[in-house]
Structure 1
Amino acid sequence: MSKSGTIRTGIGGWTFEPWEGTFYPEKLSKKRQLEFASRELTAVEVNGTYYSSQKPETFAKWASEVPEGFVFSLKASRYSTNRKVLGDAGESIERFLTQGLTELGPHLGPILWQFAPTKKFEPDDFEAFLKLLPEKLDGLPLRHALEARHPSFMVPEFAALARKYKAAIVYAHHDEYPEMADVTADFVYARLQRGSDDMPTCYPPKALDEWANRMKIWADGGQPDDLPLVDPQHEAPKQPRDVFAFFITSGKVNAPNGARELQKRAQPRE
């Protein structure tokens, strides 16, 4: 077994007008933006799948344009997570999962299940939802990341459920949403949302160094000691973990620069 997991950094989507001529070369056609982005970065979080379904041919096309090792994290359909009773989401979850995701093959990264900031933690209903998330799809392993954004989730019971169903709690570096860095799966998923358009690297260099160090610790199987936990009494097993970090929302203009710089800093220890 390797000593460290794979570290990947990325951005939300790959189409954004301010990136044209800054991140993307002048006169690069929109049709080639994914090709370019996937060779500069190591992952992309796709937001479009949250709002509408895609065709199998679309996923196949995406897969054909990216190099080996690059992955797409897909945000799950809003119809699966924006509901009063999560346990009733079975049909929506199945519809999302069977739209052609497996066409991505090894380029399929974690699936992000994002819950509304108003959605409160109801243990029985949330477990009913987790039971609906399969470990595999047509033989392809699935990784599930849970982004809970209501303070009621900041309890050990939430972390225990995530561990039970091998799902990762998303660490959201956000000004308003809960910060929960508990390691509950064989991978770690972070969304860095405190960037600035005035900062050339989205986050200040010192902050990038700090995040790179945390990512290395996660990849090596450890737990950073400077991030908040909801279940500090539980110690995650020491094992290599893949780590994903995405620059999202704030500072989007310079998000690609942040992702590139963080990737450089976060190269695994020899």
Structure 2
Amino acid sequence: MIRVGTSGWVYPPWRGQFYPEGLAHRRELEYMSERVDSIEINGSFYALQRPSSYQKWAEQTPDDFVFAVKAPRFITHMKRLVDVEEPLANFFASGILALGRKLGPVLWQLPPNLTFDVKVLAAFAQRLPRTTNEAVEFAKGHGDKVEGRAWTSTDADRPFRHAVEIRNPSFAVPEAADILRDNGIALVIADSAGKFPAPEELTADFVYARLHGDEELYVSGYTDDALDRWAEKLRSWTTDRDAFVYFDNDAKVRSPHDAMGLRARLSRPEGG
């Protein structure tokens, strides 16, 4: 299965352009989820969300909808993957498990100024939980930051997927890909208009792609030809694996339209 959506859904410039005039803000997720089948939650990158928020988002979306969750920048950008036992537990206890069957991969976006260190990446990758039951056990070690609102249960034991997006050229080496592959973690395939490294290496049983702009980062849309090329790539990568694809070119209200355009292409018979 190839799921296609956007990175986030709360963008004021979309109102009146993508979202209809007069649509209540609280209904924007519902509106978007009728047009794509997955969305990347961005707010979790900036601050720990609450279980009530994850529950609300799950309730507002169709039964077969899936969310990816962007992990906290506190872990990736501030702690830089080191000494993160309690921050990880806080994140896993913050409510992401309340999504239940709608929980998709967790995205770990690394900062551009973080350079590759074999020991750091290996230790971090090995520490991540591989199932929701493992995530529950990890979450039980949470600190005061989520005390009184921690979510430390799961409705079923499911695979717990992780994807890492690199942004420093030092990570574009076989050793980094091998660490991710050994731990079943996807190396994000990122299209960033040439700004960041863009290896197209499959390191897990699923593909995670982020499309940040065809020619200008976060701004430019994708032409019909570009969407055709991405549809062809995704088909070639997913003969034996799932894929999650998110458009992050929101500045000019391109991402929802590009997501729907790619979904339409992928729904056609190959060669049709």
Q: Give me the TM-score of the superposition, normalised by structure 1.
A: 0.85
Contact 1:195–1:251 (8 Å) recurs in 2:
no
Please list, as runs of the form range in 1=range in 2, the aligned pairs for 1:144-163 lying within 5 A after superposition: 144-163=162-181
Give the alignment partner of residue 102 of structure 1, picking from 91, 94, 97.
97
The answer to whether the 8 A contact 2:68-2:107 is kept is yes
User: Equivalents in 2 of 1:171, 1:36: separation in Å?
Assistant: 27
1:33 matched residue in structure 2: 28
Kindly indicate whether the alpha-carbon contact (under 8 Å) linking 1:12 and 1:44 is maintained by their aligned counterparts in 2.
yes
Matching residue's letter, 1:38: S
Among candidates 238, 252, 260, match of residue 219 of structure 1: 238
2:254 is paired with a residue whose SS is: helix
Matches within 5 A, 1:238-257: 240-249=240-249, 251-257=251-257
Aligned pairs, how many? 244
Query: Match for 1:248: what amino acid?
Result: D
Mapped to 2, the partners of 1:144 and 1:124 lie a distance apart of: 18
Segments of 5+ residues of structure 2 without an aligned counterpart are 134-156
CA distance in 1, matches of 2:52, 2:226: 40
Q: Measure how far apart 1:21 and its partner are.
A: 2.0
Give the deviation of 1:148 after TM superposition.
Answer: 1.1
* Identity rate, percent: 41
Is this contact kept in 1: 2:111–2:167, CA < 8 A?
A: yes
Task: Name whichever of 140-149 and 246-255 sits farther off.
Answer: 246-255
AA aligned opposite 1:8? R
Decide whether the 8 Å contact of 2:18 with 2:253 is kept in 1.
Answer: no
Q: Using the alignment, how far apart are the partners of 2:111 and 2:22 within structure 1?
A: 39
User: Secondary structure at the residue paired with 2:40?
Assistant: strand
Letter in structure 2 aligned against 1:203? Y
1:181 matched residue in structure 2: 200
2:48: which partner in 1?
53
Does the Cα contact within 8 Å between 1:9 and 1:246 map onto a contact in 2? yes
Give the secondary-structure state (helix, strand or coil) at the position aligned to 1:25: coil
Alpha-carbon RMSD across the aligned residues, in angstroms, is 1.9
- In 2, the alpha carbon distance for the partners of 1:252 and 1:134 equals 37
Distance 1:268 1:153, change over 3 A: farther
1:176 CA displacement: 1.1
- Counterpart for residue 229 of structure 2: 210
In the TM superposition, residue 9 of structure 1 has moved relative to its aligned partner by 1.1
Unaligned runs of 5+ residues in structure 1 are: 1-5, 221-239
TM-score (norm 2): 0.85
Q: Is the 8 A contact 1:193 1:247 kept in 2?
A: yes
